[in-house]
Amino acid sequence: MAKRIHLTELGCIACEELSELGAGKEGWLVNNPNLLCALDSHSLALANRNLILIVNWGDPDAPRVKIRPDLSPIEAESITAIEWLVFDDVRVVVAGTSCGYLLVYSVAGDLIHKQMVHPSRILKIRVRGTKKDLIQETSAEEICFVMPGIIARFDGSHIQSMLQKWFQEKNSNFWDQKNRKGDVEDTGSLSQRLPYQIWNVNKNGVCVDATVTGVMPPPLLELQSSQRYYCAVTIGEDAVISAYRLSEDRGRSLVGAILSKVVPAAASTIASFSKLIWRSNDQSPKRKPEAKTQSFARASSLTCIKDYPRKGEKLTLSPSGTLAAITDSLGRILLLDTQALVVVRLWKGYRDASCVFMEMLAK
């Protein structure tokens, strides 16, 4: 009796360029913590510490694209996260670095955008669609960057506008050949900052993974508030599951507001006075302006589950954002209702598990 094969071959990614990622060595694809992977409907993006390789698995004859980001050797910067971002016919690769930088590349390898999110290691990039209205079927992408104890959220509409402008300028030959190669200093990509929100979510311990599940109602005392609130779920070693209400408000205390005004003014006065005393004719070389970090918005803890020695390991959010599958160090899988913030199901005996949600028609 012939052996049954339950797998269907979709494409082939074998190429010589894979040797730069360690292909040919035992366990290079499965047991390699430095190898990152992001799958698109037609392409596969693989990355190690300093190289991104884009392979079109649907067309073996398509050219492979190798991208070597300009990373800081002083900080030993490396690529730590990678993901695809798709808007209609526009497809780009988004990468995060160990120094907290966001990098956006076209499928041709051009650097479109570079921006500092926060000076911390980016652990994961999450991309998902969110419905704008219960009646309309239009949806907008939401991009989240997860760092130790920190989560940042970018609105997809802002990124989409930036990409459309970049591709329009590229197609109209607005830039010269040097700029087309992705020279950040000449194109001004660093000066064009995308708006985003960032929150500190380590009140219950440093998180190893996190996600924004969607919009949630405001607190009872702020029902008339025009601000938008989000719900975030984090997992970690101290607290298996934690939930936070994220506010767009970056309001600070009165003392913090006073210090933020007084300290820079005092420092500027002292610096000006010192220049008058120790004025020198020698002109010091100009330094590149350092990337400014954004202050944290308010994050209020809603609930947490602490069950030592249980530790949260992986988090998978459903496409609708209403459910989350969480694996822990005891071989369990917890199914969390992200709206009620209640564990509704628990499976035992699944160590080193990876979860995924699949959508299908209800009928």
Which tens digit of pLDDT belongs to each residue from 234-293?
999 999 999 999 998 765 433 334 444 554 555 555 555 555 555 544 444 444 455 567
**Tokens linked to 326:** 């969480």
Strand order in the sheet with 333-337: 312-317, 323-328, 333-337, 342-347
pLDDT at 27: 76
- Check residue 79 and give left, alpha or beta (phi > 0: left; psi -120 to 50: alpha): beta
In contact, 290 and 271? CB cutoff 8 Å: no
**Predicted TM-score of the model (pTM):** 0.79
pLDDT at 274: 54
Tens-digit pLDDT profile for residues 94-129: 999 999 999 999 999 999 999 999 999 999 999 987
Q: Which of 147, 145, 85 is nearest to 121 (CA)?
A: 147
In contact, 125 and 119? CB cutoff 8 Å: no
pLDDT at 228: 86
Distances (CA, A) of 125 to 97, 111, 130: 11, 18, 16
| Terminal Cα-to-Cα distance of the chain (whole angstroms) | 36
pLDDT at 143: 93
Contacts of 285 (CB under 8 A, 6+ apart): none
pLDDT at 271: 54
pLDDT at 134: 43
CA dihedral 349, 355, 361, 363 (to 10 degrees): 10
The SS3 call for residue 212 is: strand
Q: Which residues of the chain fall short of a pLDDT of 70? A: 1-6, 130-140, 173-191, 222-225, 250-292
Q: Name the residue type at position 69.
A: P
- Exposure of 363 in the CB half-sphere (CA atoms within 13 A): 0
In contact, 108 and 283? CB cutoff 8 Å: no
pLDDT at 106: 93
Output 346-353 pairs: Cβ under 8 A, ≥24 positions apart: 353/314, 353/327
pLDDT at 80: 95
Helix and strand totals (H; E) in the chain = 4, 20
Cα distance between residue 243 and residue 232, in whole Å? 6
Q: Name the residue type at position 113.
A: H
